[in-house]
Amino acid sequence: MTQSIALVGPGDRQLEQMLRGRGFAIVPWLERDLAFRSQQASASVQFLMLDLRAEPRFPASLEAFRRQHPSVPVFLVVSTLDPAVMLQAMRAGVHECLQYPFSDADLDAAIFRLTAARDSAPGGDVFAFLGAKGGVGATTAAVNVATELARLKPGGVLLVDLHLAYGDAAVYLAAESKFSIADALENTHRLDSAFLKSLCVRTKAGPELLASPDRNITLHVDAGRVRTLIEAAARHYRYVVLDLCRHDPAVLDGLDPVRKMVVIANQELATVRAANRMATTLNQRYGKERVLVAVSRYDPNAGIVQEDIERVVGTKIRHLLPSDYRVALEALNTGRPLALSNQTKLAGALKVLAHELAEVTTDPPPSASGRSIFGRLTGRS
Ligand SMILES: Nc1ncnc2c1ncn2[C@@H]1O[C@H](COP(=O)(O)OP(=O)(O)OP(=O)(O)O)[C@@H](O)[C@H]1O
Ligand SMILES: [Mg+2]
């Protein structure tokens, strides 16, 4: 597969030729492209190269880009190894520094080091869901995103119900579990792969589940234990989805390993305001590029519409999960997440959300009736 590399700099045919010779597709970027991508869920490239030979000045948005896309390795090309620039590069999270002119072998070695480091890097992606108020649909979103990710990565997804007691993700997945996060949080000193796996159950829908306990946890849970649990989960699973309790400060303070936090709102004024407060707090604590707001049970005919919510929360809403109580309730009552079927707009919207979080290309959304009238008339789908 061709790998694409974004090249920020004045442009140099010889350098471009070397990269093409190694199978890279080159995407020339200006600094504003880097700034733009720092705000996007997808980097759209697999590597980034900064050519600072003409001017050893780091783009202001490099740090934000690195935070947003930690899996994209960054090369630096310089004409001299100036210690001040090197220090800045280290601070900005640059992975490889190449002093120009360099040979094909030097470039190959740098690419090899980066690719090997990336492929062996511990840590799957962690996505967290948080309802702005009770009953808005946070667990529904978490369960269905986990289910869709498990379709993409069978055996590689863990859903953690981080309600310290009486969470209901297990009900949504018709799962019964002897163990729970209580066992994990009480034993963070021995959370290796075997122990963690022994606490999880495999669900019919695909994701494994680390359930919420049906008892109160005996010890005091602090943010450190929550963080350790999330890190352990991310070491062993490609994707970890968290269903969070908004009332627990220890949980909300332990989210450093989380890549994206999704605040679920609806169209009630009080909930929209609560979503704004919650998103603001998370923005301040973890950086606004990690926080997004989605609206569940969306009804385009309601008094408060997408634009109103965007005005209050101060950010674009890219995910509207349509209101479909019958389908949502049936999925809940049968313990069969609605993302397992492709037949409804709600399932389609939840899948799109999962795909955006995982940065994978989305299948075209299904039409509500599966096949169009035109398709049925002509026999084409
Ligand atoms: N898009 C939707 N359209 C209609 N009903 C929905 C939708 N999403 C969820 N529901 C329903 O809303 C109810 C609450 O959903 P859910 O448990 O996901 O909310 P929650 O935010 O996790 O609640 P809690 O605060 O209790 O954790 C359920 O009956 C669910 O089936
Ligand atoms: Mg819930």
Residue 22 has pLDDT above 90, yes or no: no
Round to whole Å and give the CA distance between 361 and 198: 33
pLDDT of residue 120: 57
Mutate to test the pocket of ligand 1, among 164, 323, 325 (most ligand atoms within 8 A of CB): 325
pLDDT of residue 122: 59
pLDDT of residue 117: 63
- The pTM for the full model equals 0.69
Round to whole Å and give the CA distance between 111 and 248: 43
At 346, the pLDDT band (50, 70, 90 cuts) reads very high
What is the whole-number distance in angstroms between the Cα of residue 248 and the centre of ligand 1? Answer: 19
Count the Cβ atoms, other than its own, within 10 Å of residue 320: 20
Q: Which residues line ligand 1 (CB under 6 A)?
A: 131, 134-140, 296-297, 321, 323-325, 328-329, 332, 346
pLDDT of residue 371: 41
Residue 220 has pLDDT above 90, yes or no: no
pLDDT of residue 378: 39
Q: Which ligand is nearest the CA of 296, by number?
A: 1
Question: Average per-residue pLDDT in the chain?
Answer: 88
Q: Which ligand is nearest the CA of 330, by number?
A: 1
DSSP string, 126-188: EEEEEESSTTSSHHHHHHHHHHHHHHHSTT-EEEEEE-SS---HHHHTT---S--HHHHHHTG
Question: For residue 54, with 0-12 CB atoms within 10 Å meaning exposed, 13-18 middle and 19 or more buried, which class applies?
Answer: exposed
Nearest atom in ligand 1 to the alpha carbon of residue 329 is 31
Most confident of 42-51, 152-161, 281-290: 152-161
Torsion of CA 87, 88, 89, 90, to 10 degrees: 50
At 368, the pLDDT band (50, 70, 90 cuts) reads very low
CA angle 3, 73, 225 (to 5 degrees): 125
What is the whole-number distance in angstroms between the Cα of residue 234 and the centre of ligand 2? Answer: 22
What is the whole-number distance in angstroms between the Cα of residue 215 and the centre of ligand 2? Answer: 17
